[in-house]
Structure 1
Amino acid sequence: MDAARPTALRRGRAALAVSFFTQGAVFALLVTRIPAIQDRYGIGDGMLPVFLAAVPILAGVGSVLTESLVRRVRPSVVLRWVQPVVSLALVGLAAGDQVWTAALTLGLYGLCAGGLDASMNMLGVSLQRAYGRSIMLGFHASYSLGGIVGASLAWSAAHWHIGLLTLYGPAAVVLIPLALTASRWYRDQEAVHGPLEGPVAATAAPAGAVAGQPPREAVQAAAIGGQVVFRVLLPLCLVMTFAYIGDSTVSNWSAKYLQDTLHSSDQLSTVPYAVYMVMTLVGRALGDGGVRRFGAVPVVRAGTLLAMAGFAVVAAAPGPWVGMLGFTLLGLGLCVLVPQTFAAAGRLFPDASDSAVARLNVFNYVGFLVGSPLVGALGDVWSYRGAMLVPMALVGATLLYARSFGAAPAGYGVGHERPRTADVG
């Protein structure tokens, strides 16, 4: 069916996938080299959490500012200009040697990354609406692929003792032109939601032609044109927070947990996060097909149960290899939650999807801020095995809000979707 769609839509989808890939690579290049950045600037262990916390806080500010900015300029314009700045911030971070330079460049990175994440997902939601079927997981699969590439480059730099500037400089030289070239084909909401052409137009379902009973909250939201009602968005904000608490638990504690609690070797302790990232790529690459076949709600529920099982296996693991199985399940389970949460926000607020995405994106950073300190504090006062049960319970709360992922009355499913999954995004 993709061949029957307007060329501009297909190019827009490919271009946005490049943007997600680029951001995944840049983020991985930053977070995997934090120890080297700490050594370069002489940032002590006591001060490091302040720097690390400032980045998601400023990213949240950037997301809020983007909501206001896209009322005046298109999201594609925001994305086109903030993405190169994010890469240049890394180069500036690698080139400096004074603490104020680290503060300035990390602050710039955080502020622009918030705008980047918000605008990318705004474009993803509007493209998915134009496609009339789930494609959002595919964008986030590109992000995961970029993360794997970036982490691999960072590992190689660490292994061969390559300096930060030698790593970040060439990466920026490649990634900035790549992103700027792709930006020529970004498609904004007003562009992609115009009349469709050809076979796609012939099969488009009229507004409201969706299967099943939509959630009451969706009906309320759709009745308020162009406005985001926070109490309607709140369940998705909680899910976003819980998902990133789970994700930050894996990214920050998997190596320490395997080595200190499950008594693995130092070398083996680096594997769980790599396995987790590969599984997020696999899950997201296959996830859109699952949403098209079964619907968003069953996929979100299945992902939640898999993630809960993963945390339970990690907590009860007798040794490192069983722990590795738990992190594998976590990757497959958690990977579907964030993309589907953005997609659900777009369905709940079809006339204000940009604002909904920007506000929802803030809770990405709330989860990131809460997750790592929460598990660390619980591990210190209780045990790290017990601490793993807390993100398990929080992620499990997603089951309580699964109805928020259902079809909205302003449906945009098209005829080639299976009837049971109309309006899956």
Structure 2
Amino acid sequence: MNHAKIRELFPIVNQKVNNHSLVYLDNAATTQKPRQVIQTLKRFYEWENANVHRGVHTLGTRATDAYEGARMKVARFINAASEQEIIFTRGTTAAINLVASGYAKAICKEGDEIVITLMEHHSNLIPWQQAAKATGAILKYIPLQQDGSVSLEDVEKTITARTKIVSVSHISNVLGMINPIKQITKIAHKHGAVILVDGAQSAPHIKIDMQELDCDFYAFSGHKMCGPTGIGVLYGKKKIIQQMEPVEFGGEMIEHVDLWGTTWREVPWKFEGGTPIIAGAIGLGAAIDFLEHIGREEIERHDRQLTRYAMERMAEIDDLAVYGPKNDRVGLITFNLGNIHPHDVATFLDSFGIAVRAGHHCCQPLMSWLGAHATTRASFYLYNTEDEVDKFITVLLAARKYFM
């Protein structure tokens, strides 16, 4: 991976912030966009912009071909069995809510179980709280080990014959570790449960294969993998999503309407009510082309190596607490520096042009488990370098000296 050439493709990283060269380490929140994606969006609005599916004019045909072409790219990217298993959503949050509202509320009843973990992002926790309240189901949590990891023994103990749905993150947005999704899926299926995987942090960094993982649903966001904001994907096995009811009504999801009833189009279009996220989907397709050109194995190798390097450098700093396992992390490190408030750490870093995230990272139950009100998070992607990590460490040391 030629870092200099890759960085040239991302216009935003080549700027000064507070009179310092920008070091963007907030990639777990959103990634930057390469010129190819920006140019694809520009071309769409200048050349192809029209609504999709039912228009018979030339621009409508171009837009439809590009939109459905993006669906096919997503299907290949995650090795789905069919493009009909790809539903475009506004993002991971909307995808999980679609399953919680369109599936969980239909199949769960009082006394059934919905199982998640303590590490989940609020977007993979609150929808299940609401589904449990609506149906009388019981929300259960797989406990965490001392380092924040999940043991398969605890998974076996938590999932039972009454479990209907299991929903877990592939990579924690706080702890950075990869959960054993393939094994968790086997346990869920053994008990007759379906499993949803929150792939918001995994889709950008590692190769994902729906046939290998065998999960029933997989959700991820375009903006965390060099694509536009406002576009995401829900993968669902066709035999399952065919049973689901839509939760938004109108527009292209309709087959036929009379005065007293309506029939829906087939999947996936019955879940894409109204004018769909056309430009976003096309931009996501361009992002997938970009990532495939670089190579997902190469991206994962770089992200793992850079995370290891940052962990090694951070070990040099006294009074620095890192959360999560020391090994097998991908793309992010969450930490606290002594008793300095994370917002103060982030503000100090920003004064030197270094962008990180501070707060509870939409994981307040996990923060409580960690015994921390908030943390600072540095997260890396394919355009970050060891030189940037070195600058980050230098400024962290300066922050420690300034505040302590």
Q: Under a length normalisation based on structure 1, what TM-score does the superposition of the two structures give?
A: 0.25
Greater relative CO (CA pairs within 8 A, separation 6+) = 1
More helix by share: 1
Larger Rg belongs to = 2
Q: Under a length normalisation based on structure 2, what TM-score does the superposition of the two structures give?
A: 0.26
